[in-house]
Amino acid sequence: MDKKFAIIGDIHANIDALNTVVEDARAHGVTDFVCVGDVVGYNACPAECIRVVRDELHAPVVRGNHDHYVSTDAPLSDFTELAAEVVKWTRRQLSAEDVDWLRNLPYSKLHMGFTIVHSTLDMPEHWGYIFDNLTAEASFAYQKTGVCFYGHSHVPMVHQKSAAGIVRLEPGEIQVPLGSRFLINVGSVGQPRDGDPRASYVIYDTKSRVVKFRRLEYDVEAAMGRVLAAGLPERLAQRLAVGR
Ligand SMILES: [Fe+2]
């Protein structure tokens, strides 16, 4: 059955951005939400964001690195000092039920004919980044579906693999015909890092086979205010304003 999906990810506890994205998706006829991970971390509303994604949107979700570190005792040596501080703060905000939910998220998932993963399909538990044709190639080697959506770098990006090789496409409106393979970074809802502070996500219409990138202004001031009110580092508020 054809559907309109919203693929969202790297929400990072930013409820203001998440609510704006959900409203926009619904206004565009989206019925199904899917999440490529990092529901929590960096911002001030982890429990609220879990509630929306899990209980309101009923979205299939894969595990992001922040979801992983918040819900396990894994050492935080791979994290910057700033990120590690928020991981510890986030642990204190969540119920045992929320932590359990995060801890049981799968690394990758096949859903309705496409794949979702947070980082890469070749070694999802290593949290590597896809940023060029070489790293895209490694992930494509494990991709069994035409389309795979992912996140992690917070930078929207599209790679297409064909017999001629791998090409990078502008994240805009992408036709994803059957028989061709695409690896699509949907960007970040709650902490964009491409210099554009607007929330990022995509709408995938399985009937027209079009993936459309959306960028949305949201109440950044409100999100910044929540970070500061929670006593989280000021830098985390400031980066929301500049999209870095
Ligand atoms: Fe992230």
* pLDDT one-digit tens code per residue, 145-174: 999 999 999 999 999 998 889 999 999 999
Distance (angstroms) between ligand 1 centre and the Cα of 179 equals 30
Distance (angstroms) between ligand 1 centre and the Cα of 108 equals 15
pLDDT (0 to 100) of residue 78 = 80
pLDDT (0 to 100) of residue 198 = 98
pLDDT (0 to 100) of residue 14 = 98
Distance (angstroms) between ligand 1 centre and the Cα of 241 equals 17
Structure tokens at 161: 């693999």
pLDDT (0 to 100) of residue 164 = 87
pLDDT (0 to 100) of residue 108 = 98
* pLDDT one-digit tens code per residue, 23-46: 999 999 999 999 999 999 999 999
Indicate the pLDDT class of residue 74, thresholds 50, 70 and 90.
confident
Distance (angstroms) between ligand 1 centre and the Cα of 148 equals 17
CB 119 within 8 A of CB 95: no
Structure tokens at 149: 């959506």
The three-class DSSP label of residue 170 is coil
* Arithmetic mean of pLDDT, 105-122: 97
Distance (angstroms) between ligand 1 centre and the Cα of 152 equals 5
Indicate the pLDDT class of residue 77, thresholds 50, 70 and 90.
confident
| Alpha-carbon gap, residue 93 to 18, rounded angstroms | 18
Given a cut of 90, is residue 13 above it in pLDDT?
Answer: yes
Indicate the pLDDT class of residue 104, thresholds 50, 70 and 90.
very high
Given a cut of 90, is residue 79 above it in pLDDT?
Answer: no
Given a cut of 90, is residue 125 above it in pLDDT?
Answer: yes
* Arithmetic mean of pLDDT, 118-124: 97
Distance (angstroms) between ligand 1 centre and the Cα of 56 equals 21
User: What global pTM score does this model have?
Assistant: 0.97
CB 218 within 8 A of CB 241: no
What does the mean pLDDT of the chain come to?
96
- What are the angstrom distances between the C-alpha of 229 and each of 24, 40, 141? 27, 17, 45
pLDDT (0 to 100) of residue 1 = 83
CB 89 within 8 A of CB 236: no
Distance (angstroms) between ligand 1 centre and the Cα of 199 equals 13
Distance (angstroms) between ligand 1 centre and the Cα of 229 equals 22
* pLDDT one-digit tens code per residue, 167-224: 999 999 999 999 899 999 999 999 999 999 999 999 999 999 999 999 999 999 999 9
Q: What is the CATH number that goes with domain 4-242?
A: 3.60.21.10
Distance (angstroms) between ligand 1 centre and the Cα of 89 equals 16
